[in-house]
């Protein structure tokens, strides 16, 4: 991996956040039982979860978010009970919130998408 940008998300409950991101295909990579967890995805990508200091995460006012760029948009949307759509900015995507209300967008460029067979 010559270059990478990795998101670090504060979480109020590391176990709940880890379980949420597991539904997107992320698995725990580290073995540390402390306040920091590293999750990786078999298709590429890494996400770091850190225990948030008191007062950082206020319900309804969480400014954090991540974008998961993957070809597997339809399968993930079906697993999570949502429907992706083509957006005016050229992405086929859906969005949802994690347990701490961080915005999570999952998408792939519309122009690269292979339409489903009918």
Residue 77: domain span: 7-112
Residues, the chain: 118
Residue 1 located in a structural domain: no
pLDDT in tens, 35-78: 999 999 998 889 999 999 988 888 888 889 999 999 999 999 99
Residue 18 located in a structural domain: yes
Residue 107 located in a structural domain: yes
Residue 80 located in a structural domain: yes
Give the per-residue pLDDT at 33: 74
What CATH number does residue 99 fall under?
3.10.180.10
What gap in Å lies between CA 68 and CA 66, rounded to an integer?
Answer: 6
Domains in the chain: how many in total?
Answer: 1
What gap in Å lies between CA 45 and CA 21, rounded to an integer?
Answer: 12
Residue 82 located in a structural domain: yes
């Amino acid at each position: 991996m010559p270059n990478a940008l990795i998101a670090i998300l504060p979480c109020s409950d590391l176990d709940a956040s880890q379980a949420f991101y597991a539904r997107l295909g992320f698995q725990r990579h580290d073995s540390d039982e402390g306040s920091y967890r590293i999750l990786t995805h078999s298709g590429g990508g890494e996400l770091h979860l850190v225990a948030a200091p008191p007062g950082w995460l206020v319900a309804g006012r969480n400014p954090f978010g991540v974008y998961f760029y993957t070809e597997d948009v339809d399968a993930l949307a079906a697993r999570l009970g949502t429907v992706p759509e083509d957006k005016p900015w050229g992405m086929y995507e859906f969005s949802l919130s994690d347990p701490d209300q961080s915005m999570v967008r999952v998408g792939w460029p519309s122009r690269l998408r292979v339409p489903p067979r009918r």
